[in-house]
Amino acid sequence: MKELAYWPAAKSLSKNEKFTSTRKDINNLDHVDQIWEYLKLRCGNTIAINDLRGKNKEKISYSELADLITKVSNSFKNYGLVKGDVVTLISENSPRWLIADQGLMRLGAINAVRGINSPSVELEYIIEHSNSVGLIVQSKEVWLKLNKKNELKKRFKFIINLEDEQFEDLINWPEFIKAGEENLLKNNSFEKYNHQINDIASILYTSGTTGKPKGVPLTHANFLHQIINLANIADPEPGTSVLSVLPIWHSYERSAEYFFFSCGCTQFYTNPKFLKDDIKQVKPVVMATVPRLWEAIHDGFFLALKKMPPKKQKIIKILIKNSSIFKRNLRKIRNLEINQVSSLAKISLTISVIGRFFIHKISSTFLWPSILKQLCGEKLKFPINGGGALPEHVDLFFESLGIDVLVGYGLTETSPVLTCRRRELNVRGSSGQPLAFTEIKIMNEEKDKILKFKEIGKILVKGPQVMKGYLNNISATKDVLSKDGWFDTGDLGFLIPNGSLVITGRAKDTIVLSSGENIEPNPLETEILSSEFINQVQLVGQDKKCLTALVAPNIELVENKFFENDISKLNSNKKIGLFFKSQINNLLKNRLGARFEEQILECYFVDAFTLENGLLTQTLKQKRREIVDLYSTHIEEMYKK
C-alpha cells in the first residue's frame, strides 16, 4: 500500500500552529456570513475593502462592513426573501457584490452568480435553471441586455441595481440600503436564523458537455473547509494588503477572498487594465493569481529588457541565468523536484551552488529587489496561482528573482482548492500537496485499480470541499461522483511519495486557458465544421493564452480556390492561413452565446484524422490526446508566432 498513489485524508502536512491557534473561533462556524461579527470585534477599524477602480471608489472598514451586511440582510427580508430562495447575481468585483452576497447568506438564501460579460442567453438560462426569485445586476446595462423583461419583472420579488442611479423601476443601491435601515429601526432585535452547515450557499455555473453550463451548488461546509484550511498555505496578519484582480464569481477568487477576509486582510479591488499600476501602488503581500498574469509580467519584463542598451541586456541575462541555475540546483539538492537525484549527483550540484552563490547573493541584494519593485511591488510573500499550470520557464524566472509562486489545483466542483504547494515544500512542476482532510488517488482507465506513485492515471478526489452533485442533473452527477463520494476530476496526473500532485493533462475535453477561462471545444468545433472548406478540426490551447486550431481542410475546394493541394505548402501560404483563420473566427463570433475567448490565434493544416492513422476511434471520434501529441511541435510553433 505504501507504493500506491493514494493520499489519505489527514491533518495538514504543514501547519503554522501560532497562526491557526488565533482562528479557533472560525472552526466553530456553521455559516460563512458568521465571520463578520467576529471580525468586527477583532479588527473593526481595519479597512476591509478599498475599491481602487470602481465607479464609487468605496473604502469600508470591517465594522462598517458588518453593519452593512446586517442592513442588507434585513432589506432582503423586507422584500419577501426567505431561506432557500435563489437570487441571480450578475456583477464583477465590488464591495456591493460582497455585501449583497453575505446579506443573502445571512438569511439562508442562495445566490446564482455570473459575470457581466456572459451572453444574455447564458444569463437567462441561469435565471431559469436556478429557479431564481430575485435579480441583482451591476448596472442598468446588464438589465438591458436581458430579453423578456416583462416576464422577468412578473417573476421576481425584486430587481436591484448595484449603482446609485434610478432607472425604470429597478431598486437602486441607496434605496435598498435605506429599506434595510428602516426595517432595523422597526425590529431592533438581532434575529437568529436556523442555520445549518450543509445549507447551500451559492450556485456556480461551469461548462457542460452540451455547451449549456452546469449548476454547481456549493454549501457553507464547502466554503468553510477552504476558509479554515487555506490557513496552512498562507498566514497573513490583519491589515495585510491583498490585491484582487480575478472575477469574484469564480470559485477560486471567491474562496480566496473569504479566506483573506477571515484573516482581517485589506483587499484592494482592481481590474486587469490597471493591474500594472495598482500592483506597484498597493505593494500586495498576498495575491490570488492565474498563469496568464505571471506570463504577462514575465513577457513585459523581457520586452522592456530589449529596449535597454545591448551591454546592459547581456549582463542582466547572465545574472538571471546564474540565479536560475543556482536556485534550480539548490532545489535538487533539497529533494524539491519531481524526480530526485542521486547522492553522487548532489556532489556536483553542491559544487555548482557554491560557485554561483557569490554572484547570486550580489544580484539578490542589489538588483533583484529593484526589478521586483517594478514588476509586482517588493512585499509579495504569498503569490498563490490557480486556474491552470504555470509554464516552467516562468516559474523558474520568478524563483530566480526570489518569488516562490505557490501553485494550486482544483475545480469549481471542489470549492475549488484541492492541493497547493507550500513555501517549505514547493516542488516545482507540481500542483502541491492536498489540503487537510482531502483524499486523492490515481486510478487506471476503468477506475478499478489504484496505480503506483509516478504512474499517470485519472485523478479522483474526496473531501469536505467536494460538491454533493450538479443542480437538477442526475446523469451528469453520476458521471463524476461515486456513491461513496469520490469525484472524478476529469484530469490526468500522478502522485509522488511526498504527496505532491502533478497534472499531466485532461481526460475530458474541456480546455482551460492560462487565464482560467473554461472552453468547451465540442460545440465550437461543430460550428466550425459548418464551413465547406473544413472537413475536420480540433481546437487546442490547454494552459495557453488563447485557442489555436488544427484543421484538416477540404483539399478539393482549397485547390479550386487557391490552386494548391499540398498540405505543407498550405502552411507556408499566409494568404490561405488568413482566409481560414477569418472563416473560423467569423463562425465562432456569430454563434449564439459567443465569447471573446473562443477566437483562435492561428490555425495549422494537417492530414485527415482516420482509423488507419490511429487518430479516430472505432466510433469515428477524434482521439484528442493522440492528435495533440502528434502535432505538439507545430502547436508550440503557432504560439511562438
What lies within 8 Å, CB to CB, of 279 at 6+ separation is: 243, 375, 376, 377
Collapsing DSSP to helix, strand or coil, 14 comes out as coil
Q: What pLDDT is attached to residue 16?
A: 63
Residue pair 416/422 in contact by the 8 Å Cβ criterion: no
Flag whether 462 is in a domain.
yes
Tell me: pLDDT of 377 over 80: yes
Give per-residue pLDDT as tens, 218-236: 999 999 999 999 999 999 9
Shared-domain flag, residues 161 and 42: yes
DSSP letters of 161-196?
A: ESSSS--TTPEEHHHHHHHHHHHHHH--S-PPP---
Shared-domain flag, residues 484 and 619: no
Instruction: Give the CATH number, domain containing residue 633.
Output: 3.30.300.30
**Better pLDDT: 17 or 83:** 83
- Lookup: cell for 215: 449548476
d(CA 139, CA 350): 60
Shared-domain flag, residues 127 and 148: yes
Shared-domain flag, residues 51 and 102: yes
- How many CA atoms does the CB half-sphere of 605 hold within 13 Å? 23
The whole-angstrom distance between residue 28's C-alpha and the CA centroid of its chain comes to: 28
Beta bridge partners of 600: 547
pLDDT bracket for residue 625 (50, 70, 90): confident
Q: What pLDDT is attached to residue 633?
A: 94
Question: Which has the closest alpha carbon to 465: 436, 494, 491, 488?
Answer: 436
How do 406-410 and 110-114 pair as beta strands? Answer: unpaired
Flag whether 159 is in a domain.
yes
How do 286-289 and 241-244 pair as beta strands? Answer: parallel
Residue 424 gets which letter from DSSP?
T
Flag whether 7 is in a domain.
no
Structurally, the chain folds into a number of domains equal to 4
Give per-residue pLDDT as tens, 1-52: 568 989 998 766 555 666 777 788 898 999 999 999 999 999 999 999 999 9
Instruction: Give the CATH number, domain containing residue 252.
Output: 3.40.50.12780
Question: Which has the closest alpha carbon to 536: 602, 616, 626?
Answer: 616
pLDDT bracket for residue 618 (50, 70, 90): low
Give per-residue pLDDT as tens, 130-180: 999 999 999 999 999 999 999 999 999 999 999 999 999 999 999 999 998
Question: Which has the closest alpha carbon to 291: 598, 597, 546?
Answer: 546
Flag whether 212 is in a domain.
no
Q: Which of 504, 537, 560 is the last residue in one of the domains?
A: 504
Tell me: pLDDT of 210 over 60: no
Q: What pLDDT is attached to residue 520?
A: 82
Q: What pLDDT is attached to residue 18?
A: 66
Q: What pLDDT is attached to residue 1?
A: 54
- What's at 377, amino acid-wise? G
Flag whether 161 is in a domain.
yes
Shared-domain flag, residues 393 and 542: no
Q: Is 343 exposed, middle or buried (0-12, 13-18, 19+ CB in 10 A)?
A: exposed
Residue pair 316/412 in contact by the 8 Å Cβ criterion: no
Shared-domain flag, residues 49 and 177: yes
d(CA 290, CA 543): 10
The whole-angstrom distance between residue 105's C-alpha and the CA centroid of its chain comes to: 23
Flag whether 513 is in a domain.
no
> In the sheet where 547-553 sits, what is the strand order?
534-540, 547-553, 600-605
**Better pLDDT: 91 or 188:** 91
Tell me: pLDDT of 502 over 70: yes
- What's at 180, amino acid-wise? G
d(CA 208, CA 200): 21
Q: What pLDDT is attached to residue 17?
A: 64
- What's at 596, amino acid-wise? F
In the chain, the percentage of residues whose pLDDT exceeds 70 is 96
Question: Which has the closest alpha carbon to 534: 515, 550, 521?
Answer: 550
**Better pLDDT: 633 or 189:** 633
Shared-domain flag, residues 494 and 526: no
Q: Is 59 exposed, middle or buried (0-12, 13-18, 19+ CB in 10 A)?
A: middle
Give, in order, the Cα–Cα distances in Å from 357 to each of 328, 350, 372. 12, 10, 20
Q: Is 502 exposed, middle or buried (0-12, 13-18, 19+ CB in 10 A)?
A: buried
- Provide the mean pLDDT of the chain: 92
pLDDT bracket for residue 192 (50, 70, 90): low
**Better pLDDT: 40 or 210:** 40
Residue 26 gets which letter from DSSP?
G
Q: Which of 504, 532, 548 is the last residue in one of the domains?
A: 504
Residue 27 gets which letter from DSSP?
G
HEC string of 61-88 equals: EHHHHHHHHHHHHHHHHHCCCCCCCEEE
What lies within 8 Å, CB to CB, of 354 at 6+ separation is: none
Shared-domain flag, residues 389 and 418: no
d(CA 243, CA 248): 12
Give, in order, the Cα–Cα distances in Å from 332 to each of 96, 139, 345, 350, 449. 47, 53, 9, 10, 32
Give per-residue pLDDT as tens, 435-446: 999 999 999 988
Element (H, E) at 552: strand 547-553
Range picked from 176-190, 255-269, 370-384, 392-406 for highest mean pLDDT: 255-269
Q: What pLDDT is attached to residue 209?
A: 38
DSSP letters of 616-633?
A: B-TT--B-HHHHHHHTHH
**Better pLDDT: 213 or 126:** 126
Give per-residue pLDDT as tens, 592-611: 778 899 999 999 999 999 87
Tell me: pLDDT of 117 over 60: yes
pLDDT bracket for residue 207 (50, 70, 90): low
Instruction: Give the CATH number, domain containing residue 431.
Output: 2.30.38.10
- Lookup: cell for 52: 481602487
Shared-domain flag, residues 171 and 258: yes
Element (H, E) at 135: strand 134-137
Q: Which of 476, 504, 532 is the last residue in one of the domains?
A: 504
Identify the domain containing residue 556 by its residue range: 520-640
Flag whether 5 is in a domain.
no
Give, in order, the Cα–Cα distances in Å from 57 to each of 13, 53, 383. 41, 6, 25
Shared-domain flag, residues 370 and 277: no
Shared-domain flag, residues 357 and 416: no
Give, in order, the Cα–Cα distances in Å from 455 to each of 5, 26, 331, 444, 496. 8, 39, 23, 9, 9
Give per-residue pLDDT as tens, 426-468: 999 999 999 999 999 999 988 899 999 999 899 999 999 999 9
Tell me: pLDDT of 127 over 70: yes
Q: What is the pTM of this model?
A: 0.85
Q: What pLDDT is attached to residue 518?
A: 82
Give per-residue pLDDT as tens, 305-363: 988 999 999 999 999 999 999 999 999 999 999 999 999 999 999 999 999 999 999 99
Question: What is the rounded end-to-end Cα distance, in angstroms, of the chain?
Answer: 48
Beta bridge partners of 638: none
Q: What pLDDT is attached to residue 188?
A: 59
Question: Which has the closest alpha carbon to 256: 88, 417, 63?
Answer: 417
Shared-domain flag, residues 494 and 541: no
Give per-residue pLDDT as tens, 522-550: 889 988 988 889 999 999 999 999 999 99
Flag whether 203 is in a domain.
no
Number of Cβ atoms within 10 Å of the Cβ of 450:
17
pLDDT bracket for residue 119 (50, 70, 90): confident
pLDDT bracket for residue 208 (50, 70, 90): very low
